[in-house]
Amino acid sequence: MPDAPSGARIEVEGLTKRFPGAATSAVDGIDLEIRAGEFMTLLGPSGSGKTTTLNMIAGFEAITSGRIALDGSDIAQLPAYRRNLGMVFQNYALFPHMTAAENIAFPLKQRKVGKGEIARRVGEALELVHLGGHGDRLPSQLSGGQQQRVALARAVVFEPRALLLDEPLGALDKKLRESLQLEIARLHRELGITFVFVTHDQDEALALSDRIAVFREGRIEQAGTPAELYETPASRFVATFLGDSNVFAGRVRDGRLDTGWCSLRVRDAPVVDGPGADGPVALVVRPERLRIAAAGGPDTGDNVLSATVTDVVYHGAFRRVLVRFDGGGTGQVRDTAGAGGSLAVDQRVEVSWDGDAGVLVPDDEPEPVVDAPAAPVAAGAQ
Amino acid sequence: MRSAGLRRALVALGILIGAWLLVPTLIVIPISFSGEDSFAFPPSSWSLRHYRTFFTEPSWLNALLVSIQLAVIVTVVATVIGTAAAFALSRTANRFRGVLNGLFLAPLIVPGIVVAVAVYAAFLQWGLIGTPTGFIIAHTVLAIPFVTVNVGSALGGFDRTLERAAASLGASAPATFRSVTLPLIMPGVLSGAVFAFVTSFDEVVVSLFVQSPQLQTLPVRMFTSVTNEVDPTIAAAATVVVTLTTALLTLAATLRRTRRA
């Protein structure tokens, strides 16, 4: 064994949680392997089972069935206080009657560590989160960001081999959230232990994670690296939940996608998970993969759709151009550095992309129910 | 302007109601300093003789000591049981909680005389009439609701996430209760304890049934004094009781304020 605490491998098999009286399972037989030292994010909308899964790993919720193993040994029946897993909560959960230093000393006292050793390790932990000199403050005398850093220090001071984080940045404002994101990423690098991070914020998930498991209705829809999920989503749900997308729903006929209002070339688009020849599918094209130009120019891609500009939102480095396609549906183009020339609302344009710019996925939600307002969806064949 | 007038009227009304509530109690204070053997008000001369009687005559002094010892024991027992009950209630499923809560509050709601008769009947059977144990049991039953209510409201404001945090940090349930939950609900526990003390110290109805000529609490001694004698020493006794309970309840109110702060 190396000197530094190495990360634990966490395996979850057939994990199920059904709350008494509930009609469906909150967590419905999920399998997930979290590798040693990995930063794994459980991502999903509220009620998708991600927090319940984390609580079962932590030992706060009894499991209904399945297996949770830490480095191969089953911990499902072990009480929370004997699992030796660090935990960070959304509301910090600092003990309000103890100073920052006393909070951090708490797990060491439970482990009967000697006084001098406690003082030394508390000091180190405070330095680790850049709060040296704040040890004698009560939580109420610290800002939200400082409180969460004390909570982080407290959760790692006893050298757990995995740290569980339940929406730790959810209660912070945008600016603090970004600085604490960096802090958490740095802690993960420096400590080398396994992080299991729960969030509903896709940007946070993409920025921090080695791998992401996307939860939906108690199941894992897809697990993979941020790039895998973004570039080759397994379903329309994953495509629209992670990042902005243009979605063209329809059916494949003769190697082309028939949406009911247009026929699109999908020749090079990999068919993920082989949706049957007849099943509903969706072509997902990211806004940055679309090109936009004033109508009448030379055709520049495999697929060219005529459209009308409905809005142009200036973001500095890029413009977000919202369009309505002639045949039906809306879309959005991320036009970097004004490559599309001058564009005005109501202007006629052509939106184009190459056949391999999009991903064909099974259309698991034919009626769009997307709660991310930033992702306008091209309505397909009705 | 109209609101200023209304405000003045409300203040006057408040003072009036306060006086209505307080004056009958406060009137015993001047009487207790009377120099005569009567309840005449206002007294025509002043002295401390009633206090001298109160603190020297064995029947009064013993009653005071019995009441204080009893109240201390009841406070400890009721606070421990009441805190445990409130803790259990806060972890009980909603559908059972209402029923259990009602049971714990019953001594507050059931008329005192009914409780007294029931206690008398039972204690006669068990040979507890006139015994310290009988007093402790009866007073503890009456004091527990005040503890569960106070601790319950403190637990209502307690963030259960803190217990999960403690568990994740390696603290067993007893260690968590000792080092996290109890310190945070302590103001509620202490104000419950004060109420328990005062409940026992003031109690008269049930005590009248449990007492014996050899074992009397101060309120019982006062009651027999009023019914059998014309002895202004009771005014001194009443003043002592009022002063002590007022001091304790002020302490409880202060504790509640610091809890909110």
Residue spans of the domains in chain A: they are 10-224, 244-362
Tokens 């019995």 found at: B66
CATH classification (class only), A10-224: alpha beta
What pLDDT, in 10s, does the model give residues A98-108? 999 999 999 99
How would residue A93 be classed by pLDDT, with cut points 50, 70 and 90?
Answer: very high
pLDDT value of residue A340: 66
Select from A155, A171, A163, A166 the least CA-distant residue to A189.
Answer: A163
How would residue A374 be classed by pLDDT, with cut points 50, 70 and 90?
Answer: very low
Instruction: Please check the confidence at residue A41 and state whether its pLDDT lies above 70.
Output: yes
Q: Is A287 on the interface with B (CB under 8 A)?
A: no
How many CB pairs below 8 A link A and B? 64
pLDDT value of residue A367: 53
Contacts of residue B173 in chain A, CB cutoff 8 Å? Answer: 81
CA–CA min distance B91, chain A (Å): 15
A-interface mutation test, from B94, B162, B169, most A Cβ less than 10 A away: B169
What pLDDT, in 10s, does the model give residues A332-341? 999 886 666 7
Instruction: Please check the confidence at residue A219 and state whether its pLDDT lies above 60.
Output: yes
CA–CA min distance B55, chain A (Å): 44
Mean pLDDT, all residues of chain A: 87
What pLDDT, in 10s, does the model give residues A192-209? 999 999 999 998 999 999
Quick check: A107 and B170 CB within 8 A? yes
A48-55: average pLDDT: 95
CA–CA min distance A208, chain B (Å): 23
**DSSP 8-state secondary structure symbol assigned to residue B217:** -
Of the candidates B161, B166, B175, the beta carbon closest to that of A91 is on B161
What pLDDT, in 10s, does the model give residues B53-67? 999 999 899 999 999
pLDDT value of residue A19: 92
Instruction: Please check the confidence at residue A164 and state whether its pLDDT lies above 60.
Output: yes
Of the candidates B159, B170, B184, the beta carbon closest to that of A81 is on B170
A216-225: average pLDDT: 94
CA–CA min distance B162, chain A (Å): 5
pLDDT value of residue B229: 82
Instruction: Indicate the CATH number for domain A244-362.
Output: 2.40.50.140
- Estimate the share of chain B in helix, then strand, then coil, as percent rounded to the nearest 5: 80, 0, 20
Query: Which strand (E) or helix (H) includes residue B98?
Result: helix B94-109
Residue type, A149: R
Quick check: A81 and B172 CB within 8 A? yes
Contacts of residue A78 in chain B, CB cutoff 8 Å? Answer: none
pLDDT value of residue A294: 84
Would you write out chain B's pLDDT as a tens digit for each of its 261 residues?
A: 567 889 999 999 999 999 999 888 888 888 889 888 878 778 888 889 999 999 999 989 999 999 999 999 999 999 999 999 999 999 887 788 888 888 888 888 889 899 999 999 999 999 999 999 999 999 999 999 999 999 999 999 899 999 999 999 999 999 999 999 999 999 999 999 999 999 999 999 999 999 998 899 999 999 998 888 888 888 999 999 999 999 988 988 887 776 554
Least-confidence region, from A74-88, A257-271, B169-183? A257-271
pLDDT value of residue B260: 52
Of the candidates A89, A107, A158, the beta carbon closest to that of B161 is on A89
